[in-house]
Structure 1
Amino acid sequence: MHLHNNSDAIKEDILIAGLVPTMQPLTVVFLSFLTLTVAVKLPSNFQKCNRKQPDLKNCILKAAQNGIAQLTKPFPEVRIPSINPFEIQELSVLSNEGAVGLNQTFRNVKGFGFPQIKIDRYEFDFDNKTHTMDGVFPEVKLEGEFEIKGKVLLLHVNGVGQATVVLSEKTQKNPQGKIMKHAVLFALVVCVQSVKLPPNFQKCNRKQPDLKDCVLKAAQHGVPQLTKPFKNLNLPSLDPFIVPAITIKAGSGKVAINQDLKDCNHHGFNKMQLDQFEFDFEKKSLRVKGMFPKITITCQYELDGKVLLLPIKGKGGSTVVLDNLQVVNLLGYEEVRKNGKTYARFVKSDLDMSPGLIHFNFDNLFNGDKALGDSINKVMNENWKEVFEDVKSDYTETVNRILLSLLNGFFSKVSIEEAFD
């Protein structure tokens, strides 16, 4: 987890997809040290520096590196508590407008791993009266009581219980080639109560001889009902199924278009004709096979790239219609025990999609030049197979994430014992 702090204007620039702002309590620790130790002598095991020494920056950095590592115990004489664990009575995080829109309250939190920070920069600017710090926490673990309410992606999330949040460093390069370090959420473990299936959802027994047929019929009966949300089951409506944003990167073939799609409404998911919906409890897998007669997707789009060497650029409304979309998917899950019940946590989705026909229509291409726009739409429709193949991997990955979110939302509420008597 990467830290940058300027005490002249404290900013928590790590959101972790809208989750816990762990930098705030650490900032409080440093500010406490800076403000409360005035006129108090430092303990002998804390290194001191002289503002006039030529290597002042290096001295302060070493002093900070040495000092923070000692904070596994409190130093009451300088009013510094232990930061391993670092105890926080309450943290509140308000919802943002991104993919994670959660109001969160954490109480009686214990934080572990703060003394292990690897400090790269620790500087005072006495002229501008600022203090700057950069560093990396290899891992920070927070444990405490939580209360959350809101949405993650499209799923309603409400809960009260115990939480464990683990943040760790992840390094990657941005499009300009610069290395970026992000805070990554590895685990958020919550205590939940198993929810019973509504009576209009068919149930099956794992021991019945026609289990495969029963599960398939239950799925065939259940999917068409999802024209409305079932919030207690963490299931949104599938008609329309709304995706706030989709980003598709330019392919390397004949179609090289960067696509930013927003406010996408998908119609037709509830019309799926299922041929297979089969659990293998020994292999912990789910195999799904079926066909969507028609999927209609309307979005606000922004395109920039080339189609068959023809430049394409525009921003506006779009409609994409996929006819006879064949899908085959093999999903893998893990079993998680909570409160004496077994829950499925899906961790893998291997999806293949094959449409029978695709029709594209992008309004307002080339700033509303109708002749050019109609020409590009015609080219894309005449070459729809090439267009789809070039962007298939990104679309498939997007659908994989959606499927995992839907299944994990449902099976985080409904235990295997409840779903299969």
Structure 2
Amino acid sequence: MLRTLSFIAFVVASQAAEAPFIKPCKSGDNPCIVASAQAAVPFIAPGIPELGIKSLDPMEFDVIKGDQGGLSLTFRDTTVTGMKGCTVEAVKHDLNKGKQSVTIRCSVDLKGQYALGGQLLVLPISGEGKYHITIQDIIIKASAKVVTVDGEDGEKHWHVDTWQYSSTVRTNAKFEFDNLFNGNKILSDPLHSFVNANWKDVMNEIAPPIVKAIVTRVIDAVKALYKAVPAKYLEIQ
């Protein structure tokens, strides 16, 4: 791993930012593109500072906030792990139309501090303390408009212009919130049981700001990769 990163650093320094962990593919060769993307995951997940790519596993957030209807939520000092185990299920790439899309399946673990207040589904909820959320098999589909631009190195580079995403959880999600209702177990235990029995609906209430933060960080990594690596190293012409 260190040898690979040293090689990348040398290449970047010499302004020939080829990424040796990426196998270039022809546009439209989806099996090749999926295999190439999957092979790159373990290299990109820990971050590549030389290419401006921040760590995706672990992934850390100072603050994530959301207001889902009658529910106010704040997550602080959140650490997300598990992204290095993501599976790339599908990739579509059509540079002629300026479109790229990817579908990934991940199981992630989130820990940090929370503050919740308001109503979650049909029940009132309040509390502050530590939280732990495990999500099994979240399917994230992201699509982007990609344009070709002139890089500072004089080479042609891809650039993510706009993007959107959707997500769904295929298997399960589990929620643990310490100190709900100021530690009143008579209130907190039934709420935990209700929340975990209705995890799909709870995900729709709680997860959107979390998932958006994660997807944004992944897109930022892709943007950094495209900025550092000329398009000629990413696609066979």
TM normalised by structure 2 equals 0.83
1:53-202 alignment, distance < 5 Å: 194=15, 196-199=17-20, 201-202=21-22
AA matched with 2:224: G
> Please, which of 37, 48, 54 is the counterpart of residue 219 of structure 1?
37
What is the TM-score normalised by the length of structure 1?
A: 0.49
Higher relative contact order (CA closer than 8 Å, sequence separation 6+):
2
Please tell me whether residue 233 in structure 1 is matched to residue 51 in structure 2.
Answer: yes
Residue 297 of structure 1 deviates from its aligned partner by 0.9
1:206 aligns with 2:26: yes
Counterpart-to-counterpart distance in 1, 2:136 and 2:186: 27
One of 275, 293, 297 as aligned partner of 2:110: 297
Measure the CA separation in 1 of the matches of 2:95 and 2:142. 16
3-state secondary structure, aligned to 2:149? strand
Report whether the alignment pairs 1:342 with 2:160: no
Q: Work out whether residues 194 and 415 of structure 1, in 8 Å CA contact, stay in contact via their aligned partners in 2.
A: no
Contact 1:195/1:233, CA 8 A, preserved across alignment: no
Structure 2: gaps of 5 or more residues: 1-12
CA contact (8 A) 2:19 2:229 kept: no
Structure 1 Cα separation of the partners of residues 24 and 128 of structure 2: 49
Matched, 1:258 2:79: no
Q: 1:325 aligns with which of 138, 145, 150?
A: 138
Q: Shift in Å at residue 358 of structure 1? A: 1.1
Match among 236, 249, 270 for residue 84 of structure 2: 270
Give the C-alpha shift of residue 282 in structure 1: 0.6
* 1:316 matched to 2:129: yes
Match of 1:83 in 2: none
Structure 2: distance between partners of 1:349 and 1:223: 20
Residue 372 in structure 1 maps to residue 187 in structure 2: yes
Give 1:357's aligned residue.
172
Shift of 1:353: 0.9
Structure having the higher helix fraction is 2
**1:229 partner amino acid:** G
Contact 1:194 / 1:414 at 8 angstroms: preserved in 2? no
* CA spacing shift, 1:290–1:401, aligned 2, 3 Å: closer
Q: Does 1:381 align with 2:196?
A: yes
What's the % identity of the aligned pairs? 22
Runs ≥4 in structure 1, deviation > 6 angstroms? none
Maintained 8 Å contact 1:265/1:297: yes
User: Which string of whole-angstrom CA distances, capped at 9 and with x for unpartnered residues, describes residues 40-84 of structure 1?
Assistant: xxxxxxxxxxxxxxxxxxxxxxxxxxxxxxxxxxxxxxxxxxxxx
Structure 1 residue 260: Cα displacement: 0.7
Q: Is the 8 A contact 2:63 2:77 kept in 1?
A: yes
Q: Which runs of 5+ in 1 are unaligned?
A: 1-191
Q: Aligned pairs, how many? A: 222
Secondary structure of 2:32 counterpart = helix
1:284 aligns with 2:104: no
Distance 1:334 1:396 in 2: 25
Determine the C-alpha separation between the residues in 1 that align with 2:59 and 2:150: 31
Checking the alignment, whether the CA contact within 8 Å between 1:204 and 1:211 is kept in structure 2 is: no
